[in-house]
Amino acid sequence: MTALLRAVLFDRDGTLVVDVPYNGDPEAVVPMPGAAAAIARLRAEGIAVGVVSNQSGVARGLLTLEEVDAVNERVDELVGPFDTWQCCPHAPEARCTCRKPQPGLVLRAARALGVDPTETAVIGDIGADVGAATSAGARAVLVPTPLTRQEEIDAAPLVADDLAGALDLLLGAPQSDAGREDHPEAAA
């Protein structure tokens, strides 16, 4: 890696926690396997952690900012804590600069953490997460779920089977999955 890794930003739904569409209920939060261990590993390395999350349910009237905050607090309790939370409450048609794949959330998070975007990585489960990272000048690792489209996997610069594998790619630890070239879905 060319730049020092000082921060890792995570997508929330489908990456840190099981995706429950438009979730406004903290009791419905279920961590993804390995999420808490990944955050603990980064903290042990002295790397800041944050969350960048599209929450268009607010603009659609399906949830309130208070409900989003309550769910985020529950994620903090179960997986975190996180050093910064950056959420976009806008609908896609608003064409804001913060909604992933635009770089706004990543840039805001880097600024809040006092790091340069080039010293940051984003881990997410869809192409919008990768797009936001690359648009901001950050590194990106895709951790596909069954909902991730094949073209998103094919286009991702780095692909890992899980959060531990994503951190191995970013931190340079030895692993059996050497990135997208050996990733079973990337070869499909």
Task: Please identify which of the residues 13, 129, 168, 177 carries the catalytic annotation.
Answer: 13
Q: Report the alpha-carbon distance of residue 181 to residue 32 in Å, rounded.
A: 24
Note if 76 is an active site residue: no
Q: Quick one: DSSP state of residue 34? A: T
**87 assigned binding-site residue:** no
**88 assigned binding-site residue:** yes
Range list of H helices, 86-187:
104-113, 127-136, 150-155, 163-171, 184-187
Q: In the structure encoding, which two tokens stand for residue 115, read together?
A: 């790091």
**154 assigned binding-site residue:** no
**168 assigned binding-site residue:** no
**162 assigned binding-site residue:** no
Note if 177 is an active site residue: no
Q: Return the amino acid letter for 187.
A: A
Q: Return the amino acid letter for 167.
A: L
Q: Report the alpha-carbon distance of residue 121 to residue 137 in Å, rounded.
A: 9
Binding residues for Zn(2+): 88, 90, 96, 98
Residues marked as catalytic: 11, 13
Binding residues for Mg(2+): 11, 13, 125
